Amino acid sequence: MSDVSDRLMRKGREWMTAPKLLAVLLALSLPGGDALKVVGLFDNSSAHLKTAFTSAIAHANDQQQSGHLRGVFVDVDQRSSVFRKSEQLCRVLKTGVAAVLALHQTTREDYARSICDAAEIPFIDIGWQNHINGDGLFISLHPNVDTLIRAFYDLVKHWKWTSFVILYEHGQELQKYHEFFTSTVRFRVTFRQLQGTNYHSILREMKDNGETRFILDCETATVKRVLQQAQQLRLTTPDFHYLLTTLDVHAVDLSSFVYDRAKITAFQLIDPGSTTDFNDAPKKRKGNGVSTSKALTTEEALVADTVKLLSVALNKMDSRSLQPYRIDCEAADTWSQGSEVFNAISHTRIEGLTGSVSFDSHGLRSDIYLDIVEVIETGYFNVGEWTSKEGLKFGPPRVLVPISGQVLRAITVVEEPYVMVKKDAEFRTGNDRYEGYAIDLMNRVAEELNFTYILEDKGKIGHGVHNHLTNEWNGLIGELIAKRGDVALGGITISHNREQVIDFTKPFMRLGISILYRKPAAQPPDLFSFLHPFSSDVWVCIFMALILVSGTIFLLARFSPYEWYNPHPCNVHMDIVENQFTIGNSIWFMVGSLFQQGSDVWPRAISTRINAGCWWFFTLIMIASYTANLAAFLAVEQTDQPIKSADDLAKQTEIKYGSYKGGATYNFFKESKHQVYQKIWLAMNEDEKNFVSPGAKVSGIQKVIEEKYAYFMESPSLEYSVNQHCELQQIGGLLDSKGFGFATQLNSPYRDAISKTILRLQENSELERIKDNWWKGKNVVCAGKAQDANSELGLANVGGVFIILLGGIVVSLLVAAAEFIYSVQKITKITQRPFCSEVGQAFTYALKMKGSSPVKLARPTSGCCPSDLDSCPSDLWLLSQRPLAVVPATSGCCPSDLWLLSQRPLAVVPATLTVVPATLTVVPATSGCCPSDLDCCPSDLWLFFQRRLRVRCFD
């Protein structure tokens, strides 16, 4: 073992006593006693870089054909104090080292840099930090933060973004975006910090704010989690654009977001095709696509370039003349050759895995070269580059293989409405035997690209299922793998597993998984559905408000002097006044206002008018609200829906459910990590009969119609089935988001040309037109039936209104009968005639269909006339007011205490009058019944004349 190992053994007891501060020093035993020690500082986040460090040193020694480098690992506990970490580093420096490498990006090692500066030992850092102060023996291999932000700024400026969101993970990194606020271009930037693992609230807020452009400044491991949650909220559609700040985007599998067609862009510092063997393969900067398998991370590449830089620099010097000094930190020792080594390193230029490595006068990396990549189906495509000297440069678009004039072999399976056999197919030949959405779309694409195709029906083999035992695919996918077709037509779902063995075009239709189930039997309409617009509580409150406001206006009218009025304004000397707002009239006024009908009672005082106005405003709002909702409640068809979502389906056991076995929907539930979907999968997988096997006699749609069964299927096919079978319906929304596309052979030369044409057809709404032709046009059975059913209302919908009307008629008849009997009963007491006789006389008069004269009723004698009416003058009757209850006023020119009535129409006589009978005989002034001055008559007298009178009223 080396002296470092011996020192470890001697000091082991002492170091073990320091809690969690043990420096694990492992020297790599290499041949040659003149090996120079290179210290690598690692923390918990960079432990995986030890392998890269070891491989890099071994590779450097092999390249230089000498073992002049030896690596030393120092594990730094970031929870320790600066004093403990400094003491730990000083122990290592006492053994004599040539350089110290900070091989982690998460934490700045300022203490280590200070110690190395004081001891004049070169300090090399690979961390993503804003190194403003470049003094001392300091070198940074990672591109300066200001340089990277300038690259992001140039790209955002090129895209002409004026408003975007920065989703950041660490708050201390916000200062690096100062470039966006000091430039002449004005940006509206929204900052949101990503905390924890659930970002739905932040993303939903941004969606509600209409934000479509995002900069994701987070760790590489966080990128996919953010995009997955964004996908759940439908924030990965073509309208959205994401710029990733991570330089390791090639190490993230973003294939699941490709078919949403969101634009995802990032920078790359390294060649993603490199591996950890650190071979000197030239960098590939202009590739059309890159693979993400066994990708090398930026950290590993920087470790390799750091060791290579150090090895090349030391090789230029006479490494044998270097004598690392055993530094004692307490004695403030320095290494005399440290500055010479630093100058050799800073002036060395190499071509490494991260491109050309060179430094400026401050030890910061210069001549930065970054690739600009976008996510595509096969990985990442290089769309341009950025350099610190020249800025942005964009390359030409991908070259499409010519397809014009080609004859493609198209394979398919019959599947409504994508591919169907025409009814008269036996009289047709070739492609003309088939029709459907996929056929129309392929014909349109072939017309655009000027190629032809020969369609072959493969029978009931399905789209393709992967056999995990034999690792083989069947169906259309298996045919493409076997190169027995160039393109597969139909509603083929694009999935990650299928993308591993074949290629897909751009999706021509967006879809998701939903539930197909039978419509529940409609319940008979409620007779009193007209009461449903308001709840029971609201109806009770309206009734209570009616009673309260009626009582309020009654009290206001009693207290307000302006509601008391003279019923006969001709006689201004009258002392009798009336008030129209009795309890009955108050309620009647409020009821009339509530039903928008009005009444013959109107408020006179300001207080009662204010009360009435507020009530009218209340009734206006309530009636308008009621009317607005009434039509919906009268026309709505009440149903008993047993399930409303996938969650409801998972909670019950009465209804069976399943999917097509082996298809994309089957794999979705099988591989899902969602708790509800896992529960659904377990329930489906209990019975093989829940699944519809390829080539089965009974399809999933038939099982839904004939059994108590719910079927999971893609939304376009479900929508078509609902239009064809009126007894079926869709339950809930979409469970996921994916797309249909045409399948081609892996690396097919025709895929890009077809994809480009599909995008063009989508932009000019051609795809939507073709879809409407099959989903809403041809062979549609149920379209518009729901609307026709609600176009008119039957008696069952409004029957309750007729019941209310009949009930009101019956109640009014009963009240009228009670009033009639009560009135006749009072007359019977006065006339002393039999009750039945009075009833007959009153009933006979009531049945007369003409005339309006009141019934002539006998009255008891008054104090003015004798009991025998004939003893009174022939032209005058005097009766008391009290027994005579009903005498309408027909004139306003007389006081309220005198009335002159005949057997025919009534007339009103003022206090001063001249009565001339038909015989022109004037009533004597002294008649015995009344003095000459009528004003002396008591107020309760009534004057009746047997004959027709002529009446003059005098002022």
Q: What is the pLDDT of residues 485-512, one digit of tens each?
A: 999 999 898 888 888 889 999 999 888 8
In 10 A of CB 29, how many CB atoms? Answer: 11
Together in a domain, 47 and 96: yes
Range name among 39-53, 122-136, 539-553, 715-729 with the lowest pLDDT average: 122-136
Per-residue pLDDT tens for 372-381? 988 876 667 7
Is 433 marked as a binding-site residue?
A: no
**197 labeled binding residue:** no
DSSP secondary structure letters along 460-486 = S--S--EETTTTEE-HHHHHHHTTS-S
Look at residue 433 in the predicted model and tell me its pLDDT. Answer: 92
Nearest-angstrom CA–CA distance, 457 and 479: 12
Torsion angle (degrees, nearest 10) of CA 94, 95, 99, 104 = -90
CB 163 within 8 A of CB 206: no
Residue 313: which pLDDT band, with cuts at 50, 70 and 90? confident
Same domain, 248 and 194: yes
The answer to whether the beta carbons of residues 260 and 231 sit under 8 Å apart is yes
- Residue 676, pLDDT above cutoff 60: yes
Gap between the Cα atoms of 635 and 791, Å rounded: 8
Same domain, 330 and 413: no
CATH number, domain containing residue 717: 3.40.190.10
**Residues 694, 803 within the same domain:** no
Q: For residue 273, tell me if it sits in a domain.
A: no
Domain span at 820 = 799-834
Distances (CA, A) of 235 to 166, 167, 220, 251, 514: 15, 14, 19, 22, 20
The beta strands (E) that lie in 245-296 are given as: 263-268
User: What's the rounded mean pLDDT across residues 909-913?
Assistant: 41
Tell me what the pLDDT averaged over the chain comes to: 75
- Is the pLDDT assigned to residue 483 strictly greater than 70? yes
Q: How many domains does the chain have?
A: 6
Together in a domain, 616 and 693: no
Q: What is the mean pLDDT of residues 293-301?
A: 75
Of 112, 104, 133, the residue nearest 303 (C-alpha): 104
**pLDDT at position 691 over 70:** yes
The answer to the question of residue 615 being in a domain is: yes
- Judged against a pLDDT cut of 60, whether residue 2 lies above it is answered with no
pLDDT in tens, 69-101: 888 888 888 778 888 888 888 888 888 888 888
- Cα–Cα distance measured from residue 842 to residue 568, given in angstroms and rounded to the nearest whole number: 31
> In this predicted structure, what is the pLDDT of residue 793?
67
Average pLDDT over residues 179-201: 83
Per-residue pLDDT at 105: 56
Question: Considering the domain boundaries, does residue 25 fall inside one?
Answer: no
3-state secondary structure of 619: helix
DSSP per residue, 484-513: S-SEEESSPBP-HHHHTTEEE-S-SEEE-E
pLDDT at 70: 84
- Residue with the larger pLDDT of the pair 937 and 246: 246
Higher-pLDDT residue of 32, 802: 802
Question: d(Cα 118, Cα 116) in Å, to the nearest integer?
Answer: 5
In a domain, 883, yes or no: no
**Alpha helices, H only, 160-245:** 179-182, 200-208, 220-232
pTM above 0.85, yes or no: no
Check residues 134 and 519 and name the one with the higher pLDDT. 519
Rounded distance between C-alpha atoms, residue 462 and residue 528, angstroms: 53
Whether residue 448 lies inside any domain: the answer is yes
Please report, as a single letter, which amino acid is at residue 405. G
> SS3 for 215?
strand
H-type helices in 793-919, by residue range?
A: 795-831, 835-846
SS3 at position 193: strand
The C-alpha angle with vertex 131 and arms to 127 and 134, in degrees rounded to 5, equals 120
Q: Are residues 551 and 628 in the same domain?
A: yes
On whether residue 379 sits in a domain, the answer given is: yes
Please state, in angstroms and as integers, the Cα–Cα distance from residue 766 to each residue in 763, 774, 780, following that order.
8, 13, 20
> Among 430-434, 693-697, 843-847, which range has the highest average pLDDT?
430-434
Cβ atoms of residues 383 and 396 within 8 Å: no
Q: Which residues pair with 72 in a beta bridge?
A: 27, 39
pLDDT at 203: 92
Same domain, 582 and 660: no
Task: Identify whether residues 264 and 390 lie together within a single domain.
Answer: yes
Residue 609 marked ligand-binding: no
CA 119/CA 99 separation, integer angstroms: 11
- Pairing between strand 941-945 and 900-902? parallel
By three-state DSSP, how is residue 266 classified?
Answer: strand
Q: State residue 138's pLDDT score.
A: 83
Which value, to the nearest 10 degrees, does the dihedral of the CA atoms of residues 614, 616, 617, 623 take?
A: 140
Q: Do 627 and 650 lie in a common domain?
A: no
- pLDDT confidence band for 104 (50 / 70 / 90): low
915: β partners: 951
**What pLDDT sits at residue 870?**
41
- Inter-residue contact 572 to 566 (CB < 8 Å): yes
Per the document, the length of the chain is 955
Instruction: Give the pLDDT confidence score for residue 637 in this predicted structure.
Output: 58
Domain end, chosen from 810, 834, 858, is at 834
Least confident residue range of 267-276, 278-287, 432-441, 634-643: 278-287
Question: What confidence score (pLDDT) does residue 440 get?
Answer: 93
Q: Average pLDDT in the 196-201 region?
A: 90
Backbone angles phi, psi at 167, to 5 degrees: -95, 110
Least confident of 70-79, 316-325, 741-750: 316-325
Classify 93 as helix, strand or coil: helix
Output the pLDDT for position 487. Answer: 94
Assess whether 236 and 176 both reside in one domain.
yes
> Phi/psi class of residue 783: alpha, beta or left (left: φ > 0; alpha: ψ in -120 to 50)?
beta
Residues 807 and 716 placed together within one structural domain of the fold: no
Residue matched to tokens 């994916």: 738
- Do 132 and 175 have their domain in common? no
Mean pLDDT within 363-385:
83
Q: Buried b / exposed e across 486-501, counting CB within 10 Å, b at 16+?
A: bbbbbbbbbbeebbeb
| Cα separation, 257 vs 263, whole angstroms | 9
**Could you tell me the CATH number of the domain that includes residue 223?**
3.40.50.2300
What is the DSSP secondary structure assignment for residue 775, as one 8-state letter?
A: I
Nearest to 104 by CA among 124, 133, 119: 124
Model confidence over 860-906: pLDDT tens digits?
444 433 334 343 333 333 333 333 333 343 434 333 334 444 333 34
Model confidence over 694-722: pLDDT tens digits?
A: 767 778 888 888 888 899 988 888 888 88
Among 761, 776, 791, give the residue marking a domain's end: 776
Q: In this predicted structure, which of 263-272, 521-530, 657-666, 778-787 has the lowest mean pLDDT?
A: 778-787
Angle at the Cα of 645 (from 643 to 646), degrees rounded to 5? 105
Mean pLDDT of 549-557: 87
| Residue 472 domain-assigned (yes or no) | yes
Half-sphere CA count of 759, side-chain side, radius 13 A: 12
Q: What is the pLDDT of residue 687?
A: 85
* Listed residue (436, 439, 463, 464) closest to 453, CA to CA: 439
Residue 936 lies in a domain: no
- Hey, what are 297's tokens? 């991370």
Helix/strand/coil for 584: helix
Tell me which residue of 266, 299, 285 sits closest to 151, measured CA to CA: 266
Structure token digits, residue 150: 């300038």
User: Would you state the pLDDT for residue 134?
Assistant: 57
Least confident of 552-556, 852-856, 902-906: 902-906
Residue with the two structure tokens 């518009």? 784
Torsion of CA 699, 701, 702, 703, to 10 degrees: 90
Tell me phi and psi for residue 484, to 5 degrees: -100, 15
User: What confidence score (pLDDT) does residue 53 get?
Assistant: 86
- Would you say 493 is a known binding-site residue? yes
Give the pLDDT of residue 875. 36
CA 897 to centroid of chain Cα atoms = 78
Q: Which helix (H) or strand (E) holds 783?
A: none
Mean pLDDT of 94-109: 74
Average pLDDT estimate for 912-931: 38
Minimal CA–CA distance to 621: which of 532, 535, 542, 552?
Answer: 542
**Tokens encoding 490:** 């139909």
What tokens appear for 811 in the block? 């109640």
Model confidence at 242, pLDDT cuts 50, 70, 90, reads: very high
Question: Rounded to an integer, what distance in angstroms lies between the CA atom of residue 588 and that of residue 594?
Answer: 10
